[in-house]
Amino acid sequence: MQIERCGKPVIAAINGVALGGGCELALACTLRLAADTARLGLPEVKLGLIPGYGGTQRLTRLIGRGAALRLMLSATIIDAAEALRLGLVEEVVPAADLLPRAHALAETIAALAPLAVAGVLEAVERSGSSLEEGLAAEARIFGRLCGTEDKHEGLTAFLTKRAAVWKGR
């Protein structure tokens, strides 16, 4: 999915019911926040289908094989608290606070070094391979970032106790 490879963090703000494709769309996002009233699930087996937009793969990688199989094979729909406990969402907030919290998180991330943020996403994307390959990718990305203007700006800003001004170079 393009969401996963756009090079920028994508935050899902889940409010209401996210079943099937809606849950799969959220699974493709970088981070998932849920309203305390949200409900999530991949109940496609009730329709004689399987999750068809990456749900079997993303859910398993996110919450583990056993928990993912339990949810998908039983067509269980879970509430936000259970989604948080399983690691399907990173945060649960009151419904009225969902969009302000998602915007605040996005603003926090956007205020950081854009090349470093993209580097974290790239390194984590590579973590699906072997540990050795993931560590090698991390080292390459770290080395690439060491030569950037943003790295110099970040260190200078830290040492002079001022806010960094990122240029994405």
- Distance, CA of 169 to chain centre: 24
Q: Count Cβ atoms within 10 A of the Cβ of residue 12 and give its class: 0-12 exposed, 13-18 middle, 19 or more buried.
A: buried
Q: How many residues does the chain have?
A: 169
Residue 80 in contact with residue 38, Cβ under 8 Å?
A: yes
Q: Does domain 112-159 have CATH number 1.10.150?
A: no
What is the DSSP-derived secondary structure letter of residue 164?
-
Q: Catalytic amino acids?
A: 24, 44
- Please determine whether the domains at 2-109 and 112-159 fall in the same fold group of CATH: no
Give pLDDT, residue 3.
Answer: 86
| Domain 2-109 bears CATH identifier 1.10.1780.10 | no
How far apart CA 131 and CA 126 sit, in angstroms, is 9
Q: Does pLDDT of 147 surpass 70?
A: yes
State residue 125's pLDDT score. Answer: 83
Q: How far apart are CA 113 and CA 47, in angstroms?
A: 45
Which tens digits make up the pLDDT trace of 28-60? 999 999 999 999 999 999 999 999 899 999 999
Please provide the average confidence, as pLDDT, over all residues in the chain. Answer: 93
| Local structure of 9: helix, strand or coil | coil
Please, which residues bridge with residue 108 across strands?
none
| List of residues 6+ apart from 26 with CB closer than 8 A | 12, 14, 18, 32, 40
Cα first-last separation, the chain: 27
Domain residue limits, the chain: 2-109, 112-159
Q: pLDDT tens digits for 82-103?
A: 999 999 999 999 999 999 999 9
User: Quick one: average pLDDT of 107-123?
Assistant: 93
